[in-house]
Amino acid sequence: MATLHYALAATEVLSAVMLMSNLDPLSRLAAGEFDDALSWTPSPSVAWALAGIALAGTAFFSILSPLTLLAGRRIAQTRSLGFCIAVAKANLFFVPWGMLLGFYALQILRSPSVTIQFGEEPHTSWVED
């Protein structure tokens, strides 16, 4: 499962780079630099909103990718169960790969046998009858 986290972290870095590459054209579009070159341009408020979304996505993936990488290392070392669960929940927002890995990681990390391997007592609501 650690290898899947490493691959997801690389995908998140690529997503951050792709979103970051859109910031300059969107800000130039909002400033009206393309008004003569394009047959239709959105209003500046729409362009600024899109630039804000791209900036927020860049920040989200820039923060989430090192956390995902660290969670993969912690899983390989069977340390920090709570941190790994928190990162798995945060990855649920990265559709589709983060969501798939997040659900898979939560299912595995919440099992009593894995909880014991991390050196923690299984939560009573996690134990199946």
Tens digits of per-residue pLDDT, 36-71? 777 787 888 999 999 999 999 999 999 999 999 999
125, part of any domain: no
- Residue 127: pLDDT band (50, 70, 90) is low
123, part of any domain: no
- Residue 23: pLDDT band (50, 70, 90) is very high
State which residues form the domain around 31: 2-35+42-117
86, part of any domain: yes
Distance CA 107, CA 103 (A): 6
21, part of any domain: yes
Residue keyed to tokens 């899109």:
50
- Residue 35: pLDDT band (50, 70, 90) is confident
93, part of any domain: yes
pLDDT given at position 126: 54
74, part of any domain: yes
Distance CA 22, CA 101 (A): 27
Domain count, the chain: 1
pTM over 0.85: no
pLDDT in tens, 86-106: 999 999 999 888 999 999 999
Average pLDDT in the 64-88 region?
Answer: 93
105, part of any domain: yes
Helix axes 2-21 and 97-109, enclosed angle (nearest 10): 150
Average pLDDT in the 74-80 region?
Answer: 92
Average pLDDT in the 13-22 region?
Answer: 94
124, part of any domain: no
3-state SS track over the chain: CHHHHHHHHHHHHHHHHHHHHCHHHHHHHHCCCCCCCCCCCCCHHHHHHHHHHHHHHHHHHHHHHHHHHHHHHHHHCCCCHHHHHHHHHHHCCCCCHHHHHHHHHHHHHCCHHHHHHCCCCCCCCCCCC
Distance CA 67, CA 71 (A): 6
